[in-house]
Structure 1
Amino acid sequence: MFANPFTDEELGQRLEAVRSAMEARSLDMVLLSTPENIFYLTGLDHWGYFAPHLLIVPPEGDMVLVTRQMERVSIEKQVRNALFHGHADNETAADLAVRFLKDSFVAKERSRAVLKAVVKEIEEQADGALRIGVETWSSGHSYGFGHALRESLPDVHWADITGLVDNLRLVKSPLEQDLMRRAAAISDIAAEAAIAAIRDGASERDVVAECHATMIRAGGEVPGFGPFIRPGKRLGEEHTTWGDGVYQDGEPVFIELSGCVSRYHSPLGRLVHVGSIRDEDARMAEVSRQAFDAVLSALRPGVLARDVYAAWQAIVDEVGLSHYRRHHCGYCVGIGFPPSWTGGNRVTGLRHDSDLEIREGMTFHILSWLMGTGKGDFFVSNAVLLGPDGTEVLTKTPLGPTIR
């Protein structure tokens, strides 16, 4: 946070890819409101995304970033490839965006003819031929925000471009892959601290405090999700974390966390057992590892996500668990802003019904989850990169079973 990690060349290539996608869809401009996508194109990394941001991407010339005026210092420091227009708190980002699109569309000090031409189309085209793309399923695109845009610019054809930039983000550049490796190293350091703190009688809060402090000291930034660390009896609560309890002998402890470097995440998950592990859980640990390895073998360029899931399920079926199914065996990761490390409000999962094509440069959080099987419980997860030489497991924490 507080620094732009991208080179001008990297940002330029991304913008060119977005504009190629715009041309393919016959779009005259796009308005981006997803924090992850705005960061991807500009490098703006701050906590101000709780308020609406709008990145206006024309077919040529400078992009324009619209948000609260008070963010000027951070934006001028971090953003090199977009003009900034800030609004006061007595109006909204939509108010300023509409006024900007209608009346000026460019800062007075940097007027551009191509942008003036776009304004002319907005003002003069009565047939609504101008096509503007918006991310209607973005966390930053509320009903009120979208309504204000549409009501104030009636002679425009609005196109839903949800996923346009997200799809470009799936394949990571060499620079991004390096950030993922750095995040993975922090994930391992934080997991080691959490595991070391777990013991009979340890406070849930003390364990998480050690984990989080270690993560920060190791160079980690605020992750999209805070560490999920909770006792096995609360496993099904999914997106909850520590409470006021004390870990007790004989119970499992769930750990899922991710280090974060320049908004890039490399999550891992482990199940730690306090004092001892049941025999059936130890046997399930071996199945979990085998199924994880099957996913690694299946991850190849050109295969479909459903084929990867099928490889995981085949191992599960072979050991007599054909009744057991999961909604996915992993999902794509990379850029993430709170409250998620999944890259936005959607999860691009390795599901049984997904036709997502696997490509070199993709990064995943692979989960081999076998909890509630009736024959033992275990799970393990790691961040995985599909590189030119095959799969690279980025997180290195021992798979277990780990007994504390």
Structure 2
Amino acid sequence: MEYRDEVYFHSKPESEIPFSAEEFKNRLSRIRKAMAKAGIDMLYLMAPESMYYVSGYQAEWYQAQSPRQWPASSAIAVHVDHDHYILFDSEREAILGRIFTASTDTRLFPRNSQRDGAAFTVEQLKEAGWLRGTVGMEFWSYRPNRMISQRTEALFQAAGAKVVDGTDVLRQVRWIKSPDEVTCLREAARIANIGMAAAKAHLRRGVTELEIYGEMVRAMAAAGGENPGITMPVLSGTKTNALHGLATRRKVQQGDVVLVDLSGVFKRYHINMARTFSMGEPSRDVIEVTSKAATAMAYIRSLLRPNLPVGEFNRAIMAHLVEAGLWERRGWVGGYEMGIAFPPDWVGNFVFDPLSDLNADRLFEPGTAVNFEHQFFLPRHIGQYFTIDSFLFTESQARGLSAEPFDLMVIE
């Protein structure tokens, strides 16, 4: 036996499984019930968020843009009639699987396959009898890419399975968070507030956007925070009119508007928040807009309650912004689900905004969490006022999770 085999197959690293066996058992039960309702016999999961939700699997590399010789192949198969899942992976990740998952059935690709385990996986699933029906794949996930997804689908079909889009099964299950998940969201909020306070404390004229970014990352890491799914924007000056820009070596200047948008992360659960700062006292017309916007955010918090109808919330937001004279200055007003996320995104599946009927018939049920974004263009094109709060709904209450004031914060 080669020494690497001894390490791969006999090393016993310290376990870092993120949740209890009972939590994972309950998740699997919910998934199987949803599969039965959707008419799916086997769910084939390759999205990092899905693999994590089922097993705790997490890695720093998912072969998303890898060479053709190293295609994304690791996956988890869940069958509607079985109370365990099968984890398929490269032997190079055997140790990783023992650290982060409680998998009782891990099957490693043959060594000569490199990382291309698709044919092996299908053969194993066929022998197990898991391909005698309808297979759901995650067609709306970036992983795997188009070529690998089509090839895997063809292999399933050749083995006798009917293949359908099963993306929404797990996404809908993840909408309602368990008590353990709610605990993670609260901790992510604590970390996010630490990050925002650090950004505020280090914001001054002459520092670069990257320096502010580095300070908030350091503060959140020291508080136990993890790498977020999106590279967090720190933007200054008229650059704030492009909210999805990146922090650069640009130095913050007197008179700048500065935006900080971040997520605290705990056990991969994200809570998002953003605030706007002014380098020096802003002009009167800027104060007029931002004061109204801050008042609107406070009003919106007052609307929160468990089982709040999304449509009712949207209508109240729009009416208030129209009355305040802010509606015509809006960039985007709305929000999306917060929860498990891996790079390159933290935007959840559930989206709402006042101009769309999408999800308007739904409720903000206990166990759900969303962010809410306010974006308003300031006078003379100087930038945007940008604020994000995140809301957590439980059986007994609904509340915003960000701590810093909503007002435009002046840095002297």
Shift of the 361–369 alpha-carbon distance from structure 1 to 2, 3 Å rule, reads same
Does residue 392 in structure 1 map to residue 369 in structure 2?
no
Name the counterpart of 2:4.
none
Deviations 1:168-199 (A, max 9, x none): 11122221111111111111111111111111
Does residue 95 in structure 1 map to residue 119 in structure 2?
yes
Name the counterpart of 1:139.
142
Name the counterpart of 1:204.
209
Contact in 2 for aligned 1:365/1:384 (Cα 8 Å): yes
Name the counterpart of 1:189.
194
Shift of the 118–337 alpha-carbon distance from structure 1 to 2, 3 Å rule, reads closer
Does residue 359 in structure 1 map to residue 362 in structure 2?
no
Shift of the 326–52 alpha-carbon distance from structure 1 to 2, 3 Å rule, reads farther
Deviations 1:70-91 (A, max 9, x none): 1110111221145222334535
Does residue 25 in structure 1 map to residue 42 in structure 2?
no
Contact in 2 for aligned 1:4/1:45 (Cα 8 Å): no
Contact in 2 for aligned 1:29/1:133 (Cα 8 Å): yes
1:222, 1:202 → 2: CA distance? 23
Shift of the 6–329 alpha-carbon distance from structure 1 to 2, 3 Å rule, reads same
Deviations 1:277-296 (A, max 9, x none): 22222222222223223433
**Shift of residue 359, structure 1, vs aligned partner:** 0.9
Superposition map of 1:298-309 within 5 A: 298-309=303-314
* Aligned with residue 48 of structure 1, among 61, 79, 82: 61
Does residue 336 in structure 1 map to residue 341 in structure 2?
yes
With 245-254 and 378-387 compared, the bigger mean Cα shift is at 378-387
Unpaired segments of 5 or more residues in structure 1?
A: 106-116, 122-129
Superposition map of 1:97-246 within 5 A: 97-102=121-126, 104-105=127-128, 117-118=129-130, 121=132, 130-154=133-157, 155-246=160-251
Name the counterpart of 1:312.
317
Name the counterpart of 2:97.
75
**Shift of residue 246, structure 1, vs aligned partner:** 0.8
2:333, 2:124 → 1: CA distance? 44
Deviations 1:139-175 (A, max 9, x none): 2132222221232233321121112111111122221
Number of aligned residues: 381
**Shift of residue 234, structure 1, vs aligned partner:** 1.3
Report percent identity of matched pairs. Answer: 25
Shift of the 323–236 alpha-carbon distance from structure 1 to 2, 3 Å rule, reads closer
**Shift of residue 66, structure 1, vs aligned partner:** 1.7
**Shift of residue 298, structure 1, vs aligned partner:** 3.7
Does residue 370 in structure 1 map to residue 362 in structure 2?
no
Amino acid at match of 2:403: K
Amino acid at match of 1:398: P
1:237, 1:86 → 2: CA distance? 45
Contact in 1 for aligned 2:326/2:376 (Cα 8 Å): no
Unpaired segments of 5 or more residues in structure 2?
A: 1-14, 64-71
1:373, 1:308 → 2: CA distance? 28
Amino acid at match of 2:263: S
Contact in 1 for aligned 2:90/2:115 (Cα 8 Å): no
User: Normalising by structure 1, what TM-score?
Assistant: 0.87
With 50-59 and 293-302 compared, the bigger mean Cα shift is at 293-302
